[in-house]
């Protein structure tokens, strides 16, 4: 699929339904971020926060990010890809489908590809349905595939 030029105006998104709107810059998911996320969501599972045990016992050879950490980074990855400065407010509206298809080892770099699947006018704004594929650098397999709904106002 051909990439369209970088999106610099969120008000023009409706013209790009069915197209890849952009690819985010690479983003490193380090152990410190994983540890802070584990603390925030009260999920201290050793596969995420114990590098020594994960090195010995995990099938991944080390710690890995929570799938929900990867998912929670979608907002940042989208904002680093599409200029949202002309939007007063954006909200996550939900997900129709999510699959965590591969692990994100600590220290990995990820990026997201955003396809605008649907653009709908709603009262006071717009609802966007995104097809998102999160890739890990050096891997041919995506780490997360999602259908994500956002709303923009303003």
Q: Which CATH number fits domain 10-30+64-153: 2.30.30.240, 3.30.930.10, 3.20.190.10, 3.10.129.10?
A: 3.10.129.10
pLDDT band for position 60 (cuts 50, 70, 90):
very high
Q: In this structure, are residues 130 and 101 in contact, taking their beta carbons and an 8 Å threshold?
A: no
pLDDT band for position 7 (cuts 50, 70, 90):
low
pLDDT, tens digit (0-9, with 9 covering 90-100), for 92-147: 999 999 999 999 999 999 999 999 999 999 998 899 999 999 999 999 999 999 99
Domain range summary for the chain, segments of one domain joined by +: 10-30+64-153
For the ranges 1-10, 55-64, 141-150, the lowest mean pLDDT is seen at 1-10
For the ranges 5-14, 45-54, 65-74, 87-96, the lowest mean pLDDT is seen at 5-14
Q: Is residue 19 predicted with pLDDT exceeding 90? A: yes
pTM of the model: 0.89
**What gap in Å lies between CA 9 and CA 56, rounded to an integer?**
48
3-state secondary structure (DSSP) of residue 132: strand
Q: Is residue 28 predicted with pLDDT exceeding 60? A: yes
Listed residue (27, 17, 1) closest to 130, CA to CA: 17
DSSP letter (8 states) at residue 64:
B
């Amino acid at each position: 699929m051909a990439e369209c030029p970088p999106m610099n105006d969120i008000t023009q998104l409706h013209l790009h339904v069915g197209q890849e709107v952009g690819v985010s810059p690479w983003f490193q998911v380090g152990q410190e971020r994983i540890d802070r996320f584990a603390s925030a969501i009260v999920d201290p599972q050793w596969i995420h926060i114990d590098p020594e045990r994960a090195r010995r016992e995990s099938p991944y050879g080390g710690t890995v990010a929570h799938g929900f950490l990867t998912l929670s980074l979608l907002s940042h990855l989208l904002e680093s890809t599409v200029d949202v400065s002309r939007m007063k407010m954006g909200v996550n509206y939900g997900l129709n489908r999510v699959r965590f298809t591969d692990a994100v080892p600590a220290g990995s770099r990820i990026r997201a590809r955003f396809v605008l699947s649907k653009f709908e006018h709603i009262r006071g704004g717009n609802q966007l349905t995104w097809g998102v594929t999160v890739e890990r650098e050096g891997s041919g397999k995506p780490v997360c595939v999602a259908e994500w709904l956002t709303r923009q106002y303003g």
